[in-house]
Amino acid sequence: MRRALIWTTGVAAALIVGVGVAESIGWPFLAGPAAAFAAQRLERSVELSPGAGAFRLHLLGGIRLHLQRLVIGNPSWSQLGPMLDAQHLELKLRWRDLWAAHDGRPLRLQALSADALQLQLERLADGRASWQFGKAIEAGASSEAASAASSAASASAATAPAREIQGVQIADLRIGQGRWTLADAQMALRLEGNVASQPPPAGGWLADATGSLRQAPVTATLRAGAALTDQALGDRGVQLPLTLDVQAGQARLHFDGRLQDPMDGAKLDGSFGLSGPSLAAVGQPLRLTLPTTAAFSMQGRIQHAGTRWQATVRQARIGRSDLAGDFAFDTPPAAKPVLSGELRGRALWLQDLGPAIGTRAPDGAATPPHGAKVLPDRPFDLPSLNAMQAEVGIALDRLELGHPGLEAVQPLRAHLSLKDGVLLIDRLDARLARGRLDGHVRLDGRSRPASWDVDLGLRAVELAQWISGLQRPQQPPYVAGRLAGRVQLKGRGNSTSQLLASADGRAWGVLSRGRISHLAVELAGLDVAQALGVALRGDDALRIDCGAADLAIANGRVQPRVLVVDTRDSTVWAEGSLSLADERLDLVARVEPKDFSPLALRSPLRVRGTLGAPKVSVDKAPLARRLVPAALLGMLNPLAALLPLMDAGDDDGEPAAAACRQVLAKRGGAAP
């Protein structure tokens, strides 16, 4: 009995001494088993540097580990090198945390520091990420399947405890010099940069990055919040203050907010500022189909969780436009991104969206030279129409048409949809000079060249109010009345000029309750005597008995079937054509008076040339038929020279006036 007690005491003493010696020298013989244990738990290769002092472990009062070098591999599917390569690594954790990890809970580390660290992270398009651990992930299951497997394991924990580790939590993370790489196929993102802990009192971490996002160059700097005390990285609900500055392509982003659950979903919430030379500069790297615009800046709040981004834009300045809105952008792994929301604004200037259809921004290139082509010929970015889907409401207080003489459209409501390469703007309801504008515009980018159709209508637009900025002060308006009309066109092409050059369709308009400047009518008819008379006594407004236009459009050629203004004094009508293909004009305006004039040249006006350089001239043949006899008679008697210039007002314009009345009757008479 005594001998057994002595042996027991001796063994116990030997164990105590052995443990004490092992504790003092750091348990170097456990390096191999520790690496094997970590490899089993993480489902990854784990390597520890051999040699004296390379492994020091202390187990009393918790686990404290010093490693000269630790290398943890990436999953077998990864194309990168090791996920983690750390030198002079210090680690602290509690025994109870290790036991919890053995039962399938996250492995919680009280402290982790490294003098030097290299981190290489990768995520595939199907959602597998190298920072996820477990057999389901390694085997190639999607992130959804892995999550389902995790839930099933938790539900059956009473009978079969889960064996895969469920992530890592770090209470205090310090890094001397770090280098990191991120390859994210889901976002077409590849970055690399540096990261380091900041000393007190600032604390936290500072990181920078360079790389590419959807082939656009990216540079970034990030400052995360101070080191955590009562929470750990990986804890559910943990939040880190975060400041981020990014330049992607030509766009700049500043974010100031919080990062929640950085090691489990990474949710963002904070304020942002975004600027760039065009909205398209932002859309390209983010797979957003946005229009090419003038330079812009915007501020608001942004949130991100899972595959969904939400943004509240408090103010967006695009050129002179002042806009706002609420948007959601979802990026599911196996489907096209979807943009939804509402665009609002106090004012949108049409010129600020001009580059989207090929025109210059108001702050862009110099004015084109005289005679240059007017119709925009910049190709549409048709592939971008297939890059995403969209459902966006539009609610604008005012749409400025870009000319100081034209009244703005106010308000304007519409709906924009983009589905499988087809862009549609419909549900258009806009108010213009007490009237309304409605219709739709559709562009189908699936075909080559693209096809499009336009159907836009005007109802009860007060013409004098719409063009009030062009009228003379204290004088009758050049033209007034209630305008109604419609434009219906179809075409094919990859730019605005190509679309119009192939256009087929029809446009019509009628003017009711109309009035026109008496002086303008007399001058158009080259009626010198009556124009002088009107000028001396003051201009007045002639009632328009009939005003109508009926334009046929075929293969880009516009020909007026009827283009007439008929008054009690004269009938004015136009003939000829306009080619949208080569932008050439060949129009003739005729004025036939209905009353006697002692001095009227009565010659048609011709408009030729191009849209960029129109040339207005008087038809010389009819003019010569009056001026030559007048000159000859003037040689005999000065008063006789007036005889060829007298006009009895025989109203040769009656056929044109009759055609005008037919158009008016066909379109329902007076405009509503």
User: What average pLDDT does the segment 194-200 reach?
Assistant: 83
pLDDT at 221 exceeding the cut of 80: yes
- From 173, 227, 215, 220, select the one nearest 194 (Cα to Cα): 220
Q: Could you report the per-residue pLDDT of 38-95, keeping only the tens digit for each?
A: 888 788 898 887 766 788 888 888 889 898 998 999 998 888 899 999 999 898 988 8
Q: Identify the sign of the CA torsion 530, 533, 539, 544.
A: negative
The two three-digit tokens of residue 433, written as one number: 């000079």
Split at pLDDT 50, 70, 90, the class of 108 is confident
Rounded Cα–Cα distance for residues 102 and 108 (Å): 11
Q: Above pLDDT 90, what percent of the chain?
A: 26
- Lowest average pLDDT, out of 22-36, 79-93, 283-297, 446-460, goes to 283-297
- From 338, 306, 36, 43, select the one nearest 163 (Cα to Cα): 43
User: What average pLDDT does the segment 351-378 reach?
Assistant: 58
Delimit the domains of the chain by residue range.
24-137+164-209+219-234
Rounded Cα–Cα distance for residues 204 and 175 (Å): 10
pLDDT at 554 exceeding the cut of 60: yes
Rounded Cα–Cα distance for residues 263 and 168 (Å): 8
Burial class (CB in 10 A: 0-12, 13-18, 19+), 5: exposed
User: What average pLDDT does the segment 481-496 reach?
Assistant: 89
- Lowest average pLDDT, out of 208-212, 432-436, 583-587, 662-666, goes to 662-666
pLDDT of residue 135: 52
pLDDT of residue 471: 65
User: What average pLDDT does the segment 489-501 reach?
Assistant: 88
Rounded Cα–Cα distance for residues 454 and 427 (Å): 13
pLDDT at 547 exceeding the cut of 60: yes
pLDDT at 499 exceeding the cut of 50: yes
pLDDT of residue 146: 41
pLDDT at 648 exceeding the cut of 60: no
The two three-digit tokens of residue 146, written as one number: 């892995």
pLDDT of residue 445: 87
Split at pLDDT 50, 70, 90, the class of 426 is very high
pLDDT of residue 442: 93
pLDDT at 563 exceeding the cut of 90: no
pLDDT of residue 149: 39
Higher per-residue pLDDT: 199 or 395: 395
Q: Angle CA(530)–CA(531)–CA(532) in degrees, nearest 5?
A: 90
Q: Would you tell me how many other CB atoms lie within 10 Å of the CB of residue 408?
A: 21
pLDDT at 102 exceeding the cut of 80: no
Mean pLDDT of the chain: 77
Query: Which residues make Cβ contacts (< 8 Å) with residue 349, sequence separation at least 6?
Result: 319, 320, 321, 362, 400, 402
Strand partners, 207: 195, 222
